[in-house]
Amino acid sequence: MRCIFLDRDGTLNIDKGYSNKIEDLEIIGDPLHELYYLKKLGFYIIVVSNQAGAKLGYYTEKDVEVFNKEIQKKLFWLIDDFFVCTHAPDENCNCRKPKTGLIEKALEKYQISLENSFVIGDKASDIEMGERVGAKTILVLTGHGKKEITKARPDLVAENITQALRMIRKKAENEIFPVSVSLKNNKKLLGVIDTKEKSFWIKYQIEPESYKEIIERAVILNEREKRIREDIENYLTPKIVENIPVDFILGTALLARD
């Protein structure tokens, strides 16, 4: 499944130095609309952040946790998770960006397709981390972005997080198609057909007998009129995931165009 990895300070919120005080929290621009629609398209939204100030004595790890929860509140809980490195720069950990430990932790918890994912940040270290894991990268010109642009080699450059998210959404809308499926038991499910996905992902709460119905009805409803390439019975063992962003993600490994 797709994911957007967001840097925090300077990208998502204004960077006010070594601060994790709630009163200093100010979201950059208004990314709420774009985050909402990207979630409906089946994206995970995950924040990955260096917070060495916790080890250097500027604030505590609890302060970071409280600050992140406040971000969640301001963004209506659209962020799936936060992964934070609190090590000092000289500790040689494996999680301080540009090292990839934070993303590796995310991969342990979530089913993520890195080649279809993005890293957004305001520093060259964010971009380098994205390059190392094979994700696409966007440098924002907020925070340190204007100074860091000469050091970084991003795939794209955006004025701010809202523009970066909009770039991703516009591209994704040509590859992902939201589908609403009404089942025979009068239950309505909201999912997507992702032309870049290879598997059938589904939330664990959905009854097994609904799998075939989801595939049949999703194929019928899809505006590009896809059809089952092989016997539908071959695809009734989807990967069941508790925290999938939508009810189901139907990959085109199951489908072919008419």
Q: Which of 7, 80, 126, 247 is catalytic?
A: 7
Q: By three-state DSSP, how is residue 83 classified?
A: strand
Whole-angstrom CA distances from 78 to 149, 206, 212 are: 28, 22, 30
- Which tokens hold the place of 2? 């797709």
Count Cα atoms within 13 angstroms, Cβ side, for 107: 11
Q: Is 9 designated active site?
A: yes
Please give the Cα distance from 254 to 110 (Å, whole number): 22
- CB distance 179 to 249 below 8 Å: no
Please give the Cα distance from 257 to 229 (Å, whole number): 8
- CB distance 241 to 204 below 8 Å: yes
Helix count (H) and strand count (E) of the chain?
8, 13
Please give the Cα distance from 191 to 194 (Å, whole number): 10
Please give the Cα distance from 56 to 87 (Å, whole number): 9
Q: Which of 9, 80, 126, 194 is catalytic?
A: 9
Active site residues: 7, 9
